[in-house]
């Protein structure tokens, strides 16, 4: 005869017993198995008695990041000021960058206009036999022209916002 040890069997019965739940009540957005007398009118019995509550996952915030954000928030506003000569240097650099970008965009626009040829670009390779490819390339060229025009207008607006270097 083979006997099961008594301790594992008892542990199994205790574990199964712990899964049995009392009545579950829903009080607003909360679930509980004990309802204070004052809240009983606002609470409703949940049929079945089994409730699974899933909590949202919130990734842990490193302590260093929290401390750093507090330090940044507590920094006085006067430290964020930039020296006038430094700001002029930055404005000058920004103007130079924008001007070079404008030259590139205008050069690209000239190339696109030349290739577009007033809506009738020269046909390439297989476009002579496949007219649809030609139509698609013309449409792409037209869209590129419009995008590039928009880019040029945006760069000019930005140039207008940057103070002129003196």
- At 145-158, the pLDDT tens digits run 999 999 999 999 99
Q: Is the dihedral of CA 158, 159, 161, 165 positive or negative?
A: positive
Contact 112, 141 (CB under 8 A): yes
pLDDT > 70: what percent of the chain? Answer: 69
Q: What is the CA radius of gyration of the chain?
A: 36
Q: Name residue 31's beta-bridge partners.
A: 26
Q: Name residue 27's beta-bridge partners.
A: 30, 43
Q: CA–CA distance from 75 to each of 65, 71, 72, 135 (Å)?
A: 15, 6, 5, 59
Looking at residue 25, what is its pLDDT? 78
Confidence check: pLDDT of 161 > 70: yes
Nearest Cα neighbor of 166 from 81, 82, 101, 95 is: 95
């Amino acid at each position: 005869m083979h006997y099961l040890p008594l301790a594992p069997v008892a542990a199994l019965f205790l574990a199964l017993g712990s899964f049995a739940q009392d009545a579950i009540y829903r009080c607003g957005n909360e679930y509980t198995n004990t309802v204070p007398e004052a809240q009983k009118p606002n609470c409703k019995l949940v049929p079945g008695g089994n409730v699974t509550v899933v909590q949202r996952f919130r990734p842990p915030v490193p302590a260093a990041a929290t401390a750093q954000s507090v330090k940044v928030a507590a920094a006085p506003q006067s430290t964020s000021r930039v020296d006038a000569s430094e700001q002029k240097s930055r404005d000058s650099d920004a103007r130079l960058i924008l001007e070079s970008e404008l030259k590139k965009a205008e050069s690209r626009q000239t190339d696109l206009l030349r290739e577009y040829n007033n809506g009738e670009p020269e046909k390439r390779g297989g476009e002579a036999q496949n007219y649809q490819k030609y139509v698609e390339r013309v449409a792409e060229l037209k869209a590129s022209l419009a995008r590039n025009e928009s880019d040029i207008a945006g760069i000019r607006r930005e140039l207008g916002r940057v103070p002129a270097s003196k």
